[in-house]
Structure 1
Amino acid sequence: MFLSEDQNQHSEEGSFKEQIMRALEEGRNNRDVDATKKTRTTNRTSKKEAKNNDENDLASSYERLFGNKKKMDEKAVAKQSEITAKDTPTKERVPLVDKSVPSATESIPKSSGHSKRELKQEEKIKKNTTAAKEQQREPSIEASRKAGAVSADSKKMMNSNLSAENKEGKAKETSKTSQMNEEEPSIFHRISEKFEELHHMEDDYEGDLSEESNLKRAERRKEDRVVRKIVYILTIGILIVAGVLAISGYNYVSAGLKPLDRNDKKLVQVEVPSGSSNRQIGDILEDGDVIRDGMVFNFYTKFKNLTNFQAGYYQFSPNMTLDQISKELQQGGSAEPLDDASKLTIPEGYDVDQIASLVAKKTDFKKEDFIKVIKDDKFFDQLKAQYPDLLTDAGNAKDVRYRLEGYLFPATYNVHKSKSLEDLVTQMVDTTNQVLTPYYSQIKEKGMTVQEVMTLASLVEKEGVTQSDRKNIAQVFFNRIATGMPLQSDISILYALGEHKEFVYNKDLEVDSPYNLYKNTGYGPGPFDNPSQEAILAVLDPTDNDYVYFVADISTGKVYYAKTYEEHMELVEKYVNKDK
């Protein structure tokens, strides 16, 4: 009976160790699975919580298993004490309590578990230990069985030997139990070390992840900087290109609005078919070298709301503005092609008498008929009502020879047989109005009348050749008027004489006429000829100077200026009287 209990105890110890190993291995596997899942789905804080939960689970398993083991050990010790108590006096009975085994309430060291290889090796060692212990107990069992066959007299001896063996076995069990208890903490110590290694590995892994994340962030920042630089460069490039295109477009449109060539008065004949649109007319004019760009002409006419262009044959010159061309297109062209006989070009600076002679030469109209139309007060009133801004001041002027002098703009006109002299004169006046329309407000700001502007422009037209000289001469006239000096222009003397000659003599300066600006101060009655647009602009925008005299070299046309009469006479002797 006692032997079977020992065997049961050993078998219980073996099974208990196996349970421990299985529990450790199961806990290890569970922790590996949980650690893998938690690493993928939780953050760093949740990992720490998972770690504490694993340790708590291990502590619970340890307490459950080792609590049972303690109870089993206590039962085994109690049974062994009962066996020993039969052969040992009461005083020697000492309860066998192994204090090296931790109780269920004691704290369990934190560990991370064994690897499968270590668990297998420890299981193998424990099995070998159990087998060796059983082999040591087999001789005692055999001896006890043999002793059962001897006589009753030797039974006491056998009991005595058995008691000794039991004591010896008890001592061995105690030492083996101590050894196991010493081994068990070492196992959990290794488990704790493994947990620490795992913790370090986790920290290293987290460090690697953090370093990798930092590298990725650095690369993203670098890429962002590169992208920003590219976007910045592209934006600057687009703005520069847009600016260049805008400036180029503005310059192109501005150039398209100006005459193609202000100095080219050659007439170009074009045909405008019936039903032509503004765009088609612009293309026709561009192809005929009349304007710079047909598209600009189309935009201009739409912006100005210019419509009702008539079909027919027209003669335009490259020095004409878009507004002048548009006006002629509205008046209508010829039904038949025009020849040289139908073209009438009025030169700049021609007066009424010269224009009348040219009309008589180029058309079937007579000079006297043309002068009659110019002197017709009724016809003038009709024109004044049609062009009030242009002719009101001329209508109020006194002592004028021709009220329309200065308002017959020098240009090329088409003289058709179907047109009358009134139509031709109206066309000339209309052209002058087109030229002055942009400057009416400026004339009022300068405190001048249209009649005064046209009068000075008619003098500047004949006195100067270049635009620079015209602007300087206009300022000289303004300086003389400001000081009360007479303008003293030879042009006024020739007009007063009604002659066209190269030189003016002293006796000519005595002519009795309101147009004699040697005797009379101010502007005089009115214009002395029909000035060009350049002469008009020179009066409206003169060059500032303090000269009051000027003289032109007849051979070269160059103009010299002086501030005093003495300087002026020296220039006259040097450049005018040198050949006399």
Structure 2
Amino acid sequence: MFFAPPFSFPIDSYVRLTQGSAAKDVAEHLKDRNIIRSTFMFEAALRWYGDTSIIAGEYYLTGRQGVFTIARRITSGDFDVEPIKITVPEGTSVRGITALLSAVPDFDSEAFYEIAKDKEGRLFPDTYFILPGEDPTLVLKRFEDNFAKQTSQAQVALAVSAFGRPMEEVIVMASLLEKEANNSHDRRLIAGILWSRIELSIPLQVDAVFPYLIGKGSRNLTKADLQTDSPYNTYVNKGLPPGPITNPGLSAILDAVTPTETDYLFYLADRGGTTYYSVTYEQHLRNRAKHLGS
């Protein structure tokens, strides 16, 4: 009798189990929801399967299920729900990732943003499969673990080590490159320019920080915007911003540490995305007049 589901079992519903829940607490929660009859029999069923570790997430209950079925499911992660495919493009910010995750049913995207907002640059852009109602902490861990895995590859680790700058600086530079160019050739040239500017104590003057900083693109910036009081403002401060502005992919990370040696110190992109380079400020002004009309 105690193995059978209650008559009032909540058919066609979800039950959410949180990370770190003790078996006793889960048993009480399931009994309160009329999913099991006896907390004692549920905990016995967990011991029968040899594992009292609860896998957090949202479980779909298609129909009435006995206590052993429930115990098996929550110790094996059998959610009985289809994951949602989320593809994060390279160069997406934490805010952008949060917006993508908001498409996942019952996912607490606000909670995700609160725990992820200080992780900019270290959430690896990739394709992820997110369960409805999945714990934001677990989702964030998957992003971070993927970043650690990808950046520890020999090709990346050796290139960063050979370049000689800390990974933190490399990630900041790569995050800028993601927004400054859409191909490796231009990213490596721009990396060469920006690293040179740092060495020469010339402000980077990278417009890509402003959408992150004040939500405005380079075409809409005013002279007042360029004087915005922020450590991220690359017009009034020298050197790199204090942190990344996007989450870069491997290509941009490698481009940041394999810059093209060049005498160029200036560049701009026209409205079609073609980048033009110059050695002197006078040449840069001519390029701007020719390609941007200003």
The answer for the alignment partner of 1:477 in structure 2 is 194
Q: Please state if 1:574 is matched with 2:290.
A: yes
Answer whether contact 1:472 1:545 (CA < 8 A) is retained. Answer: yes
Distance 2:77 2:257 in 1: 34
Per the alignment, in what secondary structure is the counterpart of residue 220 of structure 2?
A: coil
Out of 134, 145, 148, the position equivalent to 1:430 is 145
Return the offset for 1:461. 0.6
**2:107 aligned with 1:365:** yes
Contact 1:463-1:470 within 8 A present in 2 as well: yes
1:503 CA displacement: 3.0
TM-score by length of 2: 0.68
The equivalent position to 1:356 in structure 2, one of 67, 86, 98, is 98
- Aligned match of 1:18: none
In structure 1, C-alpha distance between the alignment counterparts of 2:199 and 2:78, rounded to whole Å: 50
Shift of 1:502: 4.8
| 2:164 matches 1:452 | no
Partner secondary structure for residue 361 of structure 1: coil
Q: Where do residues 417-566 of structure 1 align in structure 2 (5 Å cutoff)?
A: 417=132, 419-437=134-152, 438=154, 439-499=156-216, 502-555=219-272, 557-566=273-282
Q: Shift in Å at residue 373 of structure 1?
A: 1.8
Change (3 A) 1:346 1:418: same
Instruction: State how 1:107-506 maps to structure 2 within 5 Å.
Output: 336=80, 338=82, 342-374=84-116, 402-417=117-132, 419-437=134-152, 438=154, 439-499=156-216, 502-506=219-223
- 3-state secondary structure, aligned to 1:506: coil
Give the Å deviation of 1:345: 1.4
Aligned to 2:40: none
Cα distance, 1:365 vs. partner?
2.1
CA contact (8 A) 2:203 2:237 kept: yes
Aligned partner of 1:475: which letter?
G
* Kept in 1: contact 2:159–2:254 (CA 8 A): no
Which position in structure 1 is the counterpart of 2:68?
none
- Secondary structure of residue in 2 paired with 1:362: coil
**1:364 aligned partner, one-letter code:** D
Per-residue CA deviation, residues 525-564 of structure 1 (Å, 9 max, x unaligned), is 1101111211111112122211100011112x11110000
Q: Secondary structure at the match of 2:267?
A: strand
| Offset from partner CA, 1:64-85 (integer Å, 9 cap, x none) | xxxxxxxxxxxxxxxxxxxxxx
What amino acid is aligned across from residue 128 of structure 2 in structure 1?
A: Y
CA shift for structure 1 position 511: 0.7
Partner of 1:403, secondary structure, is helix
**8 A Cα contact 1:493 1:517, kept in partner:** no
Task: Give the number of the structure whose alpha-carbon radius of gyration is greater.
Answer: 1
Q: Indicate how the Cα distance of structure 1 residues 373 and 481 shifts in structure 2: closer, same or farther if over 3 A, else same.
A: same
Distance in 1 of aligned mates of 2:285 and 2:77: 54
Residues 309-340 of structure 1 show CA distances to partners (whole Å, capped at 9, x for unaligned) of xxxxxxxxxxxxxxxxxxxxxxx99765746x
Per-residue CA shift, 1:371-429, capped at 9, x if unaligned? 2222xxxxxxxxxxxxxxxxxxxxxxxxxxx4310111111111113631111111111
Q: C-alpha displacement at 1:431, in angstroms?
A: 1.3
Which has the bigger relative contact order, CA under 8 A and spacing at least 6?
A: 2
In structure 2, the CA distance between the partners of 1:552 and 1:500, relative to structure 1 (3 Å rule), is: closer
1:206-240 Cα shifts (integer Å, max 9, x gaps)? xxxxxxxxxxxxxxxxxxxxxxxxxxxxxxxxxxx
Alignment check: 8 A CA contact 1:493 1:511 kept = no
SS of the aligned residue for 2:290 comes to: helix
Q: Which amino acid aligns with 1:575?
A: H
Normalised to the residue count of structure 1, the TM-score between the two structures is 0.36
- 1:344: how far off? 1.4
Task: Report the alpha carbon displacement of residue 499 of structure 1 after superposing the two structures with TM.
Answer: 4.6
Kept after mapping to 1: 8 A contact 2:205/2:234: yes
Letter of the 2:265 counterpart: V
Note if contact 1:334-1:416 (Cα within 8 Å) is conserved in structure 2: no
Q: 1:567 to 1:373 in 2, by over 3 A?
A: same
- Paired residue type of 2:118: R
The 3 A distance-change label for structure 1 pair 522 and 546 is same
Deviation at 1:366, TM superposition (A): 3.4
Q: Distance in 2 between matches of 1:425 and 1:542?
A: 31
Give unpaired runs (5+ residues) of structure 1: 1-331, 375-401
Whether the 8 Å contact between 2:124 and 2:247 is mirrored in structure 1 is yes
Q: 1:186 aligns to what?
A: none
Query: By how many angstroms is 1:343 displaced?
Result: 1.2
* Aligned-pair Cα RMSD in Å: 2.2
**In the aligned structure 2, how far is the partner of 1:496 from the partner of 1:425?**
23
Contact 2:107 2:134 in 1 (8 A): no
Unaligned runs of 5+ in 2: 1-75
* Identical-pair percentage: 34
